[in-house]
């Protein structure tokens, strides 16, 4: 089964993986995911994303990635690899970054409501020192189904720990909704939301 998800994400006061950006920057994030269920517990997702901002030549970030998710009980293990092109806030030049990541998520579902806690480790190869980051994200989801239309509401808060700096460097909060439809074995969805990030 293939599932396509298009994600425009409207952002304020955000920053990119390890790159310095203005403290306030109105942004539009767009993401397209193609998910294929390999088996009952294993799925693969191809990811394409871009970011547009008002302070740098656009696009300020483009990325492509591949992620595999394996579910066992209430746990989800994920392995992801991204190739990212990010524009420097100081010079406007582009830097290519390879971002391998691994994550472990615990999720509890009660009816249409779900809580999840994701723990992710990633390395930013291509940036000075190839910094390693730990990210912890707490999420709440509310699932609404109306006929063939499906709506999911999300609220998340994520903190970033930079191992090379030995300090917590970022706190990112999101609120968004996903509206989609199902046609047989195919699913499509559109997400909208706001993103606020504090820190470097």
- Interval 161-190 mean pLDDT: 70
Q: What are the extents of the domains in the chain?
A: 2-199
Which pTM value belongs to this model?
0.76
144 has a pLDDT exceeding 60: yes
At 148 the pLDDT is: 57
Looking up tokens 């999720």, which residue turns up? 107
The better pLDDT of the pair 147, 49 is held by 49
At 10 the pLDDT is: 43
196 has a pLDDT exceeding 70: no
23 has a pLDDT exceeding 90: no
- Interval 3-8 mean pLDDT: 49
d(CA 134, CA 126): 18
Q: 2-199 falls under which CATH superfamily?
A: monomeric porin ompg (2.40.160.40)
* Structure confidence at residue 21 as a pLDDT band (50, 70, 90): very low
The better pLDDT of the pair 179, 87 is held by 87
At 100 the pLDDT is: 93
129 has a pLDDT exceeding 70: yes
* Structure confidence at residue 26 as a pLDDT band (50, 70, 90): low
d(CA 197, CA 174): 9
């Amino acid at each position: 089964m293939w599932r396509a998800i298009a994600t425009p994400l409207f952002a304020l006061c955000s920053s990119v993986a390890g790159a310095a950006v203005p403290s306030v920057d109105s942004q539009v994030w767009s993401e397209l995911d193609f998910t294929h269920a390999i088996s009952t517990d294993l799925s693969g997702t191809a990811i394409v994303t871009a970011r547009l901002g008002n302070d740098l030549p656009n696009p300020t970030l483009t990325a492509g990635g591949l992620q595999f998710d394996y579910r066992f009980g209430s746990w989800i293990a994920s392995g992801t690899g991204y190739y990212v092109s990010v524009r420097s806030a100081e010079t406007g030049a582009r830097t290519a970054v390879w971002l391998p990541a691994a994550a472990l998520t615990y999720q509890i579902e009660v009816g249409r409501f779900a809580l999840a806690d994701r723990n992710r480790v990633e390395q930013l190869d291509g940036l000075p020192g190839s910094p390693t980051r730990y990210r912890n994200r707490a999420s709440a989801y509310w699932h609404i189904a109306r006929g063939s239309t499906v709506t999911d509401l999300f609220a998340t808060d994520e903190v970033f720990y930079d191992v090379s700096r030995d300090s917590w460097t970022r706190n990112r909060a999101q609120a968004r909704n996903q509206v989609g439809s199902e046609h047989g074995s195919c699913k499509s969805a559109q997400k909208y939301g706001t993103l606020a990030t504090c820190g470097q």
